[in-house]
Each structure stands twice: as structure tokens, then as C-alpha cells.
Homo-oligomer: A and B are copies of this chain.
Amino acid sequence: MAIPAKQEPHPEWSERLLSGLLGLLGTDRFRTDLPTREGYAWDNTGLRWLPQGVALPETATEVAAILSLCHQARFPVVPRGAGSGNVGGALAVQGGLVLSTQRLNRVIEINPADRLAVVEPGVVNRELQELLAPHALFWPPDPSSARVCTVGGNLAMCAAGPGAVRYGVTRDWVLGLTAVLADGTIIRCGGRTSKGVVGYDLTRLLVGSEGTLAVVTQATLKLAPRPEARRQLRLVFAEVATATRAVVELMSRGDALSAIEFLDAACLGLLRDGGGMAIPVDGRAMLLLEVAGDAAEVGELATRTAARVAALGPLETVVATNAEESRQVWEAREALSPTLKRLAPKRINEDVVVPVSRLPELIAGLERISRESGIPIVNFGHAGNGNIHVNLLVDATDNATMRRVEPVLKQIFGLVMTLEGSLSGEHGVGVQKRPFVAMEMDPAALALQKRIKALFDPRAILNPGKLLP
């Protein structure tokens, strides 16, 4: 993306702030040495911004004390989980202190009867799922970074993944939060029940606010019953429009589908040529489906699902009949990311979303933009939500390339706006999409959001340079 890793002039440490943080956290958990700072300078964008220090609090009280000190000193604080974000949300773009949640990683409670878990933000998504599995429960947010990303990062970005088509996104799976405001005030909002309408919905105001309003120190998460079994299907269509009709048809009945993934013609070309996969040559769109349910019924569910779209005439229909075949069916999706990484290790991975019925126009428009610009673009994503990852196969860290790409990105976002979509379905805004937010957001709503930001964080110390332009 378009922002080179240039360092703006940083605020100065004051003696008082340095000694305050050192007194609070000691030399073990407050670091200003270069190697440590370098360890917190990166994320999944490939960009680098060096923070001026790193704090590793272990309690909410410590988080409150850190924020209080930085608030007094007007010193930026950048909350950070695992650093697996895609938009630079955890990068110290204006310097300041990275507040890592790594050591706020306790699982405080797992309560199967009330279907909730109470965790600290540094708990890794996958580790939580592993603790929940013996109770036949799971926490639905399933970003592809689940192996490393933290619950806190998921909350900050309102993360999602393929399962969102059935389960919704992070905001739907949070019951309550403890968070620290910019001035060090600790607040609790929400609760432990799946219903509750007392007061304004601060919980969902904080979810997706990308660490610009408060730092979450504890979350009460709503859990879902874990389906006993999953089964995969692969369908190939000659036209994107037909694949889209299949998506609409599949979405129109029941809730058994736990993933409806889409791959465009460019993806299929890569998998055919680069990956040696046998995919019908006239196929221009693939749908990868997953059904989930009881072990006894999942086979029939898969068969029924295929039957529902048979009339649309897919070029190929593969229905897995066991776990091994399921794995093979999903191979196309799994193979895609490594293939793209090989072709363009520093590619741009956008994350647009349009109403489902507009998918054919989106893909056609992206193909046109690719042809006209000469920039290879491949598209795949979560078709049931209209959420497409647009991959520009260029070197995003090369400044000359980026100057050429920037107008193309603007064209892409303009196309998405024409189709009544949004700039981001699940990756967030961070530093990367910030220059484009005004394309989407109503000016009056943007002005109101800025006033909310100023109310929560009057000295603008929390994650400056992110989210709002």
C-alpha cells in the first residue's frame, strides 16, 4: 500500500515519563533498546515503523498507570497484539510507546453452562479454541491468522473469516469488556448475559475501534456450540454471475453452510498453471463450500447442498464424502496463499465488500482495471458476505511501484463505492486505508466520529494516525 515507512518527527521522552514507566514496569517490562523496539516495528503489511519504547503490562492496573502517565505527557500509545494485522493498525506511525498485550494473556474463566469465556486480550485465538474444544464449544471469529493472532487484536479490528457467513463477526460474539480510557480510567461495559439493553452499547463502540478509543484489558466472550463435523464441496462455474446466483440460492435456506468461499478466474489460472491442479479450463469461478453439523447428518447436508445448485449447471461438482476428501477439496483455497506469496511476496491484499448481488459487477470491474493498468489482480474471498480479497501482484514496499498503484487503488475503491460496498470487510482501516475513508463515510458521520474520538481521547494519544482521517 501507498505509505512508505518514513519516520515522522517523534515526540520527546520526558524524564518524568521515562522514570514513571521504569518505576512501574522495571527494566524487564519497559524497554527502549533498539533490538526490542525492532521486534515491535512490523506487521503483516511488510511496513516498518520503529516505536520509541515497548511496555509489557501484566494487569489492568498497570495498563491504567501507563496510560495515565502517557496522557499527562501527551505521549502516543500504540496498543499491539500479535502484530498479524493487515493495515498497519499496530504500527507506531507517529512514534511513541507500543503497549503490548502479550503478558495480559490469562484465560480467567470458561463457563460451558453460560456459554461464555472471560479472557485477557493477549490470549491467542487458536489457544482459546483448543481450551474450548473439550467443552464442545468454540469462539466463532476465525481469521486466517488464528494460529498467532490475539483476541485483543480480533476485538480491535472486529475480525472475521470464512465462518462469518454463518456466525457473524467479532462484534456478535462479545458480551462485555473491561477497558482503560486514554486518561487511565478503567471502565466496565456489557455483562455476562446474551441479552441486555441497559445504557448505550459501549461494548460494540469499542469493538472495531482499532485501539483508538481505549485499551481492552478483559473480555467476556460469547461462545457457540462446536459442530461435530464439517464436510467440504467444490463447484466450478463458467461465469461469475452463475456462481453468484448459486451463492444467493445457498444463502436463501437454512444455516448449515459455514463457509462460502469464492475464487476468480485469475486464481483458477494460477492453481492450474502454477499449482498443477486439475480445474476445468473454461471455469471462471470456483465456490468452496463447507457444511457443518452433527456427524450423522453432515454427509446428507453436503449432498443436499450440491443438489440445490445443480440446476445452475456447474462445470464440476465435487462433494467430499469423508475428512480426507474434505481436505483435498479445500486444497484450492489452502494452496492459494503460498502460490501468491511465491509470485509476489510483497503483494497488496485489499479487503473490499459489496452486496452479494453486485459480485459479478465487482469481478468484471476488477478484471477491466487489471487489463487497463497492466497490474495482475487476483480475487478470492468470502462470497456469502460479498467480502473479496483483492490481490495486486506488485511489490508494495517499492515506492516507484506504489506511485503507479495508488491511482489504481483509488479506481478499485471507486468501483466498490459505485456498487454500494465498503472499503473493508474485516481487515480494518489502520494507517493504510485511512486516506480513503472519506470516500465511503458520510461527512456528518465522520465529523461525529471525530468528536467521539476527542471525547474518549482528548489528547489524541491512543494509536494516533489510524482509522479516522
Q: Counting chain B CB atoms within 10 Å of each CB, which of A194, A200, A201 scores highest? A: A200
Q: Is A8 an interface residue (CB 8 A)?
A: no
CA A425 – CA B451 in complex, angstroms?
A: 30
Q: Is A311 an interface residue (CB 8 A)?
A: no
Q: Is A444 an interface residue (CB 8 A)?
A: yes
List residues of chain B with CB within 8 A of the CB of A426: 195, 197
List residues of chain B with CB within 8 A of the CB of A202: 445, 448-449
Q: Is A199 an interface residue (CB 8 A)?
A: yes
A448 touching B187 in the complex, CB below 8 Å, given contacts A355-B192, A422-B193: yes
Q: Which of B136, B204, B424, B437 is within 8 Å of A204, CB to CB?
A: B204
CA A137 – CA B293 in complex, angstroms?
A: 22
Per-position 1/0 for A16-44, Cβ under 8 A of B: 00000000000000000000000000000
Stretch touching chain B among A110-118, A280-288, A372-380: A110-118
Taking the full assembly, how many copies of this chain does it contain?
2
List residues of chain B with CB within 8 A of the CB of A168: 172, 194
Q: Is A158 an interface residue (CB 8 A)?
A: yes
List residues of chain B with CB within 8 A of the CB of A225: 251-255
Contact B193 A425 (CB under 8 A): yes
A433 — nearest CB in chain B belongs to which residue? B198
Q: Is A420 an interface residue (CB 8 A)?
A: yes
Q: Is A307 an interface residue (CB 8 A)?
A: no
Chain A interface helix/strand/loop/mixed:
loop
CA A459 – CA B157 in complex, angstroms?
A: 34
Q: Counting chain B CB atoms within 10 Å of each CB, which of A195, A353, A354, A455 scores highest? A: A195
Contact B422 A198 (CB under 8 A): yes
Q: Is A452 an interface residue (CB 8 A)?
A: yes
Q: Is A386 an interface residue (CB 8 A)?
A: yes
Contact A189 B452 (CB under 8 A): no
CA A426 – CA B356 in complex, angstroms?
A: 31
A253 — nearest CB in chain B belongs to which residue? B225
CA A427 – CA B197 in complex, angstroms?
A: 8
Contact A194 B386 (CB under 8 A): yes
CA A426 – CA B253 in complex, angstroms?
A: 28
Q: Is A97 an interface residue (CB 8 A)?
A: no
Contact B113 A158 (CB under 8 A): no
Number of A positions contacting B (CB below 8 A): 86
Q: Is A277 an interface residue (CB 8 A)?
A: no
List residues of chain B with CB within 8 A of the CB of A423: 198
A436 — nearest CB in chain B belongs to which residue? B198
Q: Which of B188, B200, B209 is within 8 Å of A208, CB to CB?
A: B200
Contact B207 A424 (CB under 8 A): no
List residues of chain B with CB within 8 A of the CB of A195: 160, 164, 169, 353, 382, 385-387, 422, 425-426
A208 — nearest CB in chain B belongs to which residue? B197
Per-position 1/0 for A336-377, Cβ under 8 A of B: 000000000000000001111100000000000000000000
Per-position 1/0 for A162-196, Cβ under 8 A of B: 00100011011000000001000111110111111
Q: How far is the CB of A390 from chain B (nearest CB, A)?
A: 15
Q: Is A239 an interface residue (CB 8 A)?
A: no
20 other A-B residue contacts (CB within 8 Å) besides A168-B172, A254-B294: A113-B355, A113-B356, A136-B253, A171-B201, A181-B448, A186-B444, A189-B445, A191-B421, A191-B422, A193-B353, A194-B386, A196-B353, A197-B428, A201-B204, A201-B207, A201-B208, A202-B445, A204-B204, A225-B253, A254-B293
Can you give 27 contacting A-B residue pairs, CB < 8 Å? A112-B252, A113-B355, A114-B357, A115-B356, A136-B252, A158-B201, A164-B194, A168-B194, A185-B444, A187-B444, A188-B442, A189-B442, A191-B420, A193-B422, A195-B353, A195-B387, A195-B425, A196-B425, A197-B428, A198-B422, A200-B209, A201-B201, A225-B252, A225-B255, A253-B294, A254-B293, A452-B455
10 nearest A-B residue pairs (beta carbon): A195-B425, A113-B357, A204-B204, A114-B355, A188-B442, A196-B422, A187-B445, A187-B444, A195-B385, A158-B197
